[in-house]
Amino acid sequence: MRKKVIAGNWKMNKTPADAKTFVSENKAAFDSNNAEVVLCVPYVSLHAVQNELKGTNIKVGAQNMHYMKEGAYTAEISGEMLSSMDVPYVIIGHSERREYYAESNAAVGKKTKKALSCNLIPITCIGELLEEREQDLTFDVLRTQLTAVMDYLNEDEMAKVVIAYEPVWAIGTGKTATEEQAEEACAFIRKLIRSYFNHETAEKVRILYGGSVTPANAAKLFAMPNIDGGLVGGASLVPSFAQVIHHE
Structural element, H or E, at residue 121: strand 121-126
CA 119, CA 127: separation in Å to the nearest integer? 25
Question: Which of 150, 158, 189, 232 touches ligand PGA (CB under 6 A)?
Answer: 232
Q: Which range in 138-146, 151-159, 228-236, 239-247 contacts ligand PGA by CB under 6 A?
A: 228-236
Q: Is 39 helix (H, G, I), strand (E, B) or coil?
A: strand
In the bound state with ligand PGA, the residue whose beta carbon lies nearer, of 172 and 239, is 172
Residue 233 contacts ligand PGA per CB under 6 A = yes
Q: Residue type at 156?
A: D
- Of the candidates 94, 132, 157, 183, the residue annotated as catalytic is 94
Q: Which range in 27-35, 43-51, 78-86, 206-214 contacts ligand PGA by CB under 6 A?
A: 206-214
Contacts of 70 by beta carbon, 8 Å cutoff, 6+ apart: 78, 80
In the bound state with ligand PGA, the residue whose beta carbon lies nearer, of 11 and 66, is 11
- Evaluate whether 126 touches 89 at the Cβ level (below 8 Å): no
- Of the candidates 36, 52, 132, 166, the residue annotated as catalytic is 166
In the bound state with ligand PGA, the residue whose beta carbon lies nearer, of 93 and 211, is 211
What is the footprint of ligand PGA within residues 110-169 (CB under 6 A)? Answer: 166
Residue 234 contacts ligand PGA per CB under 6 A = yes
Does residue 94 have an active-site annotation?
A: yes
Residue 172 contacts ligand PGA per CB under 6 A = yes
Residue 90 contacts ligand PGA per CB under 6 A = no
Q: Which range in 30-38, 129-137, 201-209, 229-237 contacts ligand PGA by CB under 6 A?
A: 229-237
Note the Cα 28 to chain centre separation in Å: 22
Q: Is 62 helix (H, G, I), strand (E, B) or coil?
A: strand
DSSP string, 173-237: SS-PPPHHHHHHHHHHHHHHHHHHS-HHHHHH-EEEEESS--TTTHHHHHTSTT--EEEESGGGS
Return residues touching ligand PGA (CB under 6 A): 9, 166, 171-172, 210-213, 231-235
Which residues carry out catalysis?
A: 94, 166
